[in-house]
Chain A
Amino acid sequence: MSSHSPAKFTPVAIGLHWIMAAGLALAFGVGQYMSGLELSPWKLKIYTWHKWLGVTLFLLVWMRMAWRSTHRPPALPATMNRRLQKLTEIAHRALYVLMVLIPLTGWLHSSAAGVSVVYFNLLPLPNLVPKDKALSHLFETLHQALNWTLLVLVLGHVAAAFKHQFVDRDQLMARMRP
């Protein structure tokens, strides 16, 4: 551990963390709700909003990774053993990979379904693949599977944070307090 390691995340990192946490929870909840709806104008509307939120999260995660690569996050507590530190690092990397892949597979699913995405009705995004039903199903399945994987990882992330706060009482959560 470097002695230059900061004690707290930067305000930008904290802001991005909590904005994305709220956005991901909302996008996940809306995604669960909308997929069970019968086809209707309301369903088309809510799908569109879900896509706009997804594109926003996709942009935010790149900003967040750029910020993280230029602003060193605080080190993990020295009380954690090497194996646990390694596991934590892998889990954090997996969270970032999922935050990139989930909106991307959503965009691919929409493209393959022949439905383009026009971000906030202003910015048309290119269709990444041609219209193809089999491809559309594949990306839909992938999008869902990655979401359930993210849910499991996020639950583990929250459980780990609570363990530090209430069992280890090492004040780890203070580093991410808004």
Chain B
Amino acid sequence: MSQSGAETIGSGQITFTGTQMGASVQGNFRKFSADLHFDPQDLPHSYAHITIDLGSIDLASEESEDEIKGKHWLNIPSFPQAHFDSSDIRIVGPNQYLVWGLFQLKGVSKPLRIPLKMSYDRNGRSAQGRFTLKRNDFGVGDGTWSATDTVADEVTVDYHFTLVP
């Protein structure tokens, strides 16, 4: 196990689930990258910088993708990426951690706390977790879309990464 050097994501997925009219809607981002280092013995020097290429969004519908890339939703021409930069990682249980950091999306920065579960197998280490964002905190879906009766405010994000040196 590397004790110091930076790691990156070998393979992984970032998926999200929103709710429209009470029914779940799934999406995912195909492209993202990470610069991270995780040492359970040295959490103060562990960190994660995640960059998501928002243009890689997959909603299985060109119409929905065109809409969400537009200015009312993610406004990708002006804000092509989302970033998460960790500031503090604490252990909360066996192989379970909480990662505090700053999340930047559509020109808005908000503190975010992300649960992290590490697992170890023959192929190496993997990290996964789930958390919930409020889209209106970031102005995602403004104007006629800001009302939450059609598209709910909460969006659940799931991630699963394998880590490679």
Contacts and interface: CB of A to CB of B under 8 A. Distances in A.
Interface string A112-137: 11111110010010000001110010
B158 to A, nearest CB: 13
Nearest to B144: A41
B61 interface: yes
Contacts, number: 58
Contact of A115 (B25, B62, B149): B25
Contact of A121 (B22, B26, B58): B22
A82 B144 CA distance: 60
A114 B150 contact: no
A136 B144 CA distance: 27
A45 B62 CA distance: 19
Contact of B151 (A44, A117, A131, A132): A44
A112 B26 CA distance: 10
A47 B150 CA distance: 11
Contacts of B64: 39, 113
B145 interface: yes
Contacts of B28: 131
Interface size class of A (residues with CB under 8 A): 20 to 34
Contacts of B24: 115-116
Interface of B: 20-28, 58-64, 67, 144-145, 147, 149-151
Nearest to A134: B60
B21 A48 contact: yes
Contacts of A45: 21, 150
Contact of A113 (B22, B61, B151): B61
A136 B150 contact: no
Given A41-B150, A41-B151, A136 B61 contact: yes
Interface SS of A by simple majority: mixed
A142 to B, nearest CB: 16
Contact of B22 (A40, A114, A118, A131): A118
Contacts of B20: 44, 48, 115
A40 B70 CA distance: 13
Nearest to A130: B26
Contact of A112 (B25, B60, B67, B150): B60
Contacts of A44: 20-21, 150-151
Nearest to B145: A41
16 contacts: A39-B64, A40-B144, A41-B150, A44-B21, A44-B151, A45-B150, A113-B60, A114-B27, A116-B24, A118-B22, A124-B23, A131-B27, A131-B28, A131-B58, A132-B60, A136-B61
Contact of B26 (A39, A47, A114, A117): A114
In the A-B complex, the 10 residue pairs with the closest CB atoms: A114-B26, A41-B150, A48-B21, A121-B22, A118-B23, A133-B60, A39-B67, A116-B24, A116-B23, A113-B60
B60 A48 contact: no
A116 B17 CA distance: 11
Interface in A67-124: 112-118, 121, 124
* Among B67, B149, B150: residue with most chain A CB under 10 A: B150
